[in-house]
Amino acid sequence: MNGRALALVALALALAGCARVPARSAGTDAPTATAMDGSRDIVLAVDNPLEPPAIHAGSNLLGYTITGHYGAGRRASATLAALREQYGWHEVAGWPIRTLQLYCVVLRPPRGTTREAMLAALARDGRVQLAEPLHEFATYGEDDARPRHYNDPYAELQRGFVETDAALAHNTSQGGGTAVAVVDTGADPAHPDLRGRIRSTRDLVDGDANTFAGDRHGTEVAGIIAATGNNHLGIVGMAPDTVLDVYKACWYAAAGAPGARCNSFTLAKALAAIVETDARVVNLSLGGPADPLLARLLGQLLQQGRVVVTALPPGGRMGGFPDGVPGVLVVRVTSGAPAPPGVLSAPGHDILSTEPGGGYDFSSGSSMAAAHVSGIVALLLAIDPGLDAEAIHGLLLASSRPAAEGLQVDAARAVAGLRRLARTEVAGDRR
């Protein structure tokens, strides 16, 4: 445990007082995730090392650089061609993961071969780095100054915003200079309360960004985190000056469906893309079974200093993805029942947020609770970008306070605790 984490423990006591490139181009978002079969398809990965450029006769290394394009290299292409010839699978999609130097494919076993038999054979094949079922995932719907004043008409109806004293925290920080990656369904970039807050969007499901305008879950999560304040409209985000990168990795199986679906393919592409960005916070209001490939990617993001916030599964059982990955911040809906060890509690019942088409409505679930925590994390990082996930987790636990239904994170107390810690460190340096 580092010095800052030890200081936060003290503060807690005080406050308690992938290879043929498919015809559609594997390096793009073209393959349609909705056409994949989570009951049959397999994710397979092989080595795909970065390759230096060819050296031409009469030339030297000066002036030559490795190409910026990273697709299926010669080794990966040869390996996958041989594997495909041997096992006779059908390739659904393929994509490179530069940061892991892997090339992945989603494959479908040939007729007459079960997925279990194919996985067993691939597990024994030394050319294969990883082979796993194509997993499916789901979103989880269901005190030193006066608070900052907002002219947004629905601000007082925001249970989470009010109960966590976010307006008071905003006297110190509104999240400016931080970026939050939201991996979810799309989020409506034309919503009046989200204009200017979403700096980038990527569709990893079917490549049709037009579908963002109708994506409910991601729009709700985005509004809780970053809805614009003092614009005489709607609501205020927990971190209204932060910016969002929205990665559509989940989709609705049918119009009006209560929940959205994701899979290993779309989530891996989203996480690999985030590795190349400056987003410090990653919001994953979703979950499903343990997934080795996704765990490796998430582990890399954590090693880079990202703070990953996820939602506790509705049944409360942990150990899947992403809640089972060490180092992530797991958030449940505030409840009178004791929280599992280390799990944070935040408002998640009847939460007012943005809806597609410029509207607002109430929603519930640990997805909403996780979004509140992502916003608070952005507030803290705007004050001290050097904070790591361990320090933030300790601070949020230490600054949680009793609410009507039990202990709950508190934005104002977390910000005040961080400022107090900073003053203590400065005083120590002076001595």
How many angstroms separate the CA atoms of 265 and 291, rounded?
Answer: 11
* Positive/negative CA dihedral, 161, 166, 170, 175: negative
Q: Would you state the pLDDT for residue 174?
A: 97
- Residue 59: its pLDDT value, please? 37
Please confirm, yes or no, whether 184 is among the known catalytic residues.
Answer: yes
Q: Enumerate helices (H) and strands (E) in the chain, giving the number of each.
A: 11, 19
Active-site residue, from 345, 353, 367, 400: 367
The pair of three-digit structure tokens given for residue 2, joined into one six-digit string: 């580092």
Rg, the chain, Cα only: 23
Q: What digits encode the pLDDT tens for the residues 270-296?
A: 999 999 999 999 999 999 999 999 999
Active-site annotation holds for 232 = no
Q: What's the angle, vertex CA 378, arms to CA 372 and CA 381, rounded to 5?
A: 145
For residues 420 and 408, give the distance between their C-alpha atoms in angstroms, rounded to a whole number: 20
Per residue in 332-387, pLDDT tens?
A: 999 988 899 999 999 999 999 999 999 999 999 999 999 999 999 999 999 999 99
pLDDT the model gives residue 17: 33
The tokens describing 8, both together, are 């936060």
Q: Which helix (H) or strand (E) holds 95?
A: strand 90-97
Confirm whether 217 is a catalytic residue: yes
Among the options 41, 165, 184, 410, which is catalytic?
184
Active-site residue, selected from the candidate residues 135, 170, 191, 217: 217
Question: What is the pLDDT, as a whole number, of residue 137?
Answer: 94
* Residue-wise pLDDT tens digits, 147-171: 888 999 999 999 999 999 999 999 9
At residue 424, the pLDDT reads: 65
Using DSSP, state whether 417 is helix, strand or coil. Answer: helix
Q: Are 382 and 370 in contact (CB under 8 A)?
A: no
**CA proximity to 295, closest of 197, 200, 303, 66:** 303
Residues of the chain with pLDDT under 70: 1-31, 52-70, 142-146, 208-210, 255-258, 423-431
**Secondary structure string (H, E, C) spanning 309-369:** EEECCCCCCCCCECCCCCCCEEEEECCCCCCCCCCEEECCCCEEEEECCCEEEEECCHHHH
Q: Which pLDDT does position 327 carry in this prediction?
A: 97
**What is the domain partition of the chain in residue ranges?**
37-54+62-133, 139-428
For domain 37-54+62-133, give its CATH number from 1.10.3470, 3.40.5, 3.90.930, 3.30.70: 3.30.70
> CB 142: neighbour CB atoms within 10 A?
16
- Residue 68 has a pLDDT of 54
The verdict on domain 139-428 having CATH code 3.40.50.200 is yes
